[in-house]
Structure 1
Amino acid sequence: MIDPTLIIVVIGVAAFAISGVIAGARQDANILTVLVLGVVTAIGGGTVRDIILNIPVFWVKDFTIVWIAILSSLLAFLFSSFFRERIWKILRYADAIGVAFFTVAAINKTLALGHTGEVAVIMGFITACTGGILRDLLTGRPPLVIASDELFVTPALLGAILYVLLLDIAPQYTTQWSVISICFIIGFRIIAIETGLQFPKWLQMRPGKQAKK
């Protein structure tokens, strides 16, 4: 039987690789640049997670993950002309999928190592955000984590907390809770994208008149 966590990792890697390629397409990048962006985006978060947890880096242990990232990047590059008109929205959708799957995968891995739920939530959050941050920095624009107008990191954080709570209540339903949490994160993020959902004004920092000059 195929390990559900492996499926989650593979989908997350593919989604993040595609988001990296889309970001590169906005910069008219060449195929080599696209491959670099796709692979770095796909494996960046998991690499940082494993370094923090002091365990073998996941793609070093199984290089198949890198090949999946390369293949996904190539496919996205070949078909990039079909979605160029809506490239910004597709980038955010692909990012939402990668964030959701990587959050759950990181929590599963952290809990399997015997760490607490609190640590698992933080590792899920770090894993979900790091790949996108590296992608955005490499393409020379502010990371979506801080530059996005609508809610970006909140769905991942709330989804991570939800997943850990569900596992604590009924750990025998890991697969079901994984699906629910992934759908929650993706659904929440899509609603934020489509509606421009934000925190209330009183929970946002707004520049004063002097800062706007």
Structure 2
Amino acid sequence: MGAMPGDLEALGLLSEPQRARIYAFLAGAARACTRQEICQALDMGRTLAAFHLDKLEQTGLVEVVADAAGTGRRGRPAQRYRATARELSASVPPRRYELLAEILLQAALEHRPPESFAQAATRVAVRRGRQLAAGHPAPDTLWELLGSLGYEPAADGGTVLLTNCPFQRMRAVNTDLVCSVNLALAHGYLDGLDATGQFTARLRPCPDNCCVIMEPAA
């Protein structure tokens, strides 16, 4: 997966040595730890630990869980911290190889002759595109959806160009399959956003950009 803005921010936070120590400690801990336990294990002051824990929590790398045993003062449960399952990726420009793999694996599960594997893959891709559109925080904005998926959209008159291919390396392995999946995803995005009356997605091969463009509907 390519580095989205949130990933870049989180990776930047981990470049701070003390913050990285806290994250590494929590990631390797068998259970959630209190601030005091973190300070003792890392020989770190409470104020400094609290500052870094707050930053890690804001970016979703660490989460707070209540201590069910109620070991805090006057019976209040002490806050415990644990590393989350969030994964980070640092490819620039953004890539979404996990999305392609997800589609192809699902197609392999659903594929039944006489349907070809390519047909199964495009069918699954349309469905996944609709799901991504429906789950986007701003489901009425095509531009924001494409940006969040790493396509780096740009306007060329009324046409939307996708200046980055999220599947660039895999396109070189099997151009026809990868580009057909990408086009099917685009159809799913438009359908999921109810934008098929505004734009039509088609392939326009390009070595530098994504081969999918979205033109104004006739």
- TM-score, structure 2 normalization: 0.23
The structure where helix makes up a greater share of residues is: 1
Instruction: Mark the structure with the bigger radius of gyration.
Output: 2
